Amino acid sequence: MHPLRGWPFLSVPHHALLSALWAIFAHGALGILVLAPILLRSRRRLRDSLLAFAGASLIDLDHVFAATSVNLHRIETLGGRPATHCLLAALALALLAWAPTRNWTLAWCVFALNVSHLVFDAAGGGTPLLFPLSRPDAIPWLACPLAAAAMLWVSAMVARRGAASLPYAHPVDA
């Protein structure tokens, strides 16, 4: 990527490894934040938190396909993010998680992890958020923390109402 307008400290093409590591950390931390209420109710908090941390960056595998290489410099210097960096892809992944399990909490987790990644990226620009529409390709930087707060609130509602149905979650307080 070219250095991003909204997050200029995140993408430094001449330090591709540092950029990649920073992106993984930032997306993972944001993913854990937006799912915190659900993760706190889990009996396997560490495992589920590690899965959330990793899952928040998995959508970036599309960069490897777009660059047709695992070379970090090629990945970091793409002209923009692939078309799969969009809300439609996040919804499709959530439905793919829901279909075999019929677990709405899991579907929400997959959706929230991907959307948190997308809004973070879109604050920097070059993200086809509403693909197949060409615009917007960026959102104001303030939208990222606002979206994270909204997803945190939804996660709290999901944890409150749905945690009792998860086999690995603590029972909801009566």
Condensed to tens digits (0 to 9), the pLDDT of residues 16-57 reads: 778 778 888 999 999 999 999 999 999 899 999 999 999 999
- 7 — pLDDT class (breaks 50, 70, 90): low
Q: Is residue 172 part of a domain?
A: no
What are the tokens at 167? Answer: 């086999």
pLDDT of residue 172: 41
Q: What is the mean pLDDT of the chain?
A: 82
Domain range for 52: 13-165
What are the tokens at 135? Answer: 């615009």
Q: Is residue 151 part of a domain?
A: yes
Q: Is residue 4 part of a domain?
A: no
Q: Is residue 3 part of a domain?
A: no
Q: Is residue 160 part of a domain?
A: yes
Domain count, the chain: 1
Counting other chains too, the contacts that 152-157 makes at CB distance below 8 Å and 24 or more residues apart are 152/33, 152/34, 152/36, 152/37, 154/108, 154/112, 155/34, 155/35, 155/36, 155/37, 155/38, 155/108, 155/112, 156/37
Is the pLDDT at 120 greater than 50, yes or no?
Answer: yes
Q: What is the rounded CA–CA span in Å between residue 123 and residue 146? A: 12
Q: Is residue 59 part of a domain?
A: yes
Q: Is residue 8 part of a domain?
A: no
